[in-house]
Each structure stands twice: as structure tokens, then as C-alpha cells.
Amino acid sequence: MKKLLILTGVACLLAFSNIQAQDYKTGLGVRLNYWGGGGLNVKHFMGSNTALEGILTIAGNGRGWNLTGLYEVEAGLGGVDGLAWFFGGGGHIGQWYQGYYVWDNRKSYAYPATFTAIGIDGILGIEYTIPSAPINFQLDWKPAVNIIPTVDWWHNNTFALSIRFAIK
């Protein structure tokens, strides 16, 4: 319980501080998932340390797509110019095809051949913007929980690298 209180306190301090984490306003680029597939990525700063991130993921072999929206809080890391860490959360909606299997508690659930997935997402990561070039790299972990069509935890394919063009 103490750890949760401390983490909540740190999150609140970061959310309401004026820490300048990045020096770009909007980043546009691609996101490459660890387990294959990828998509488009946009990150837009609303303030010096808060951003909205949108991710459109396209699964390999025509299995489907997922649209994710996230609110993020960011802070500088180690005093290195352009380096920051961030955390946040949001939600997703997607359409999946050709049957999809989810393993949960050693049981396999088969969804219908086509289904809509709706759920909530978290995100934790680091990013680096090259100070002398308009290039931004982001490495993150984005676990998700589907709520529709069934409740299941997506944690194994959530590591990704994003490469973006940073616009001041």
C-alpha cells in the first residue's frame, strides 16, 4: 500500500510540474511491434510535460487493426538533453479477422472469425529526440486489457519501437 501511495504521489508531482521534457510539439512516424506488425504513430504535446499519443496498429497477414489513444505525462531523464521517460493510459478499439486465440490461465479461447475489440491501455517508456536533428525514438511497453468481446490481458506483444519526425 505504501508503494502505491508513493507512486501515486510521484505521478501527481510530475503531472502538475512544469518540467520541460521534450523540445518538439508534434512527432509523426512509424511504430514497430516486437511480435511483428506495426503501424503509424503521432504524439502531440499539449504542455511542457503532457502529451496525447495516437497509434494505428496493422497486424501482419491481414489479421486486423487497432486504434489506440493515450494521455501521457513525461519528465526529463538523467539530465541528458532530449532524453525523457513517460507513463500514461487510454483506450483502444480494433477489428480482428481469421479467428484469434488468446491464452488465459492455461485455457484457449477462440473468438469468432471477425470480432471487434475494445479495451483499456497503459504505457511506460523512454524516448530520445536527437538535439541536432528532427528525429525522435521511443521504446515502450504498452499492455492492454480487452473488455469487449471478452475480458483478456494483452501483455506479450506490447513492446515497440517508434521512430518519428519531430516538428517544433
| pLDDT, tens digit (0-9, with 9 covering 90-100), for 140-166 | 999 999 998 888 887 656 789 999 999
Question: pLDDT category, 7, cuts 50, 70, 90?
Answer: very low
Q: Is the pLDDT of residue 31 over 70?
A: yes
What is the fold of 2-167?
Answer: Porin (2.40.160)
Instruction: Return the minimum-mean-pLDDT range out of 26-35, 97-106, 124-133.
Output: 97-106
Interacting residues of 28 by C-beta distance below 8 A, sequence separation 6+: 40, 41, 42, 164, 165, 167
**Non-local CB neighbours of 87 within 8 Å, separated by 6+ positions:** 11, 72, 73, 122, 123, 124, 125
Mean of per-residue pLDDT scores for the chain: 80
Tally Cβ neighbours within 10 Å of residue 3.
7
The grid cell for 108 is: 484457449
The model's pTM is: 0.77
Peptide bond into 131 cis (omega under 30): no
Residue-wise pLDDT for 59-106, tens only, equals 766 678 889 999 999 999 998 999 999 999 999 999 887 555 554 555
Q: What mean pLDDT comes out for the span 128-132? A: 93
Look up cell 473488455; give the residue. Answer: 147
By the 8 A CB rule, do 116 and 148 touch? yes
Least confident piece of the model among 3-17, 38-52, 54-68:
3-17
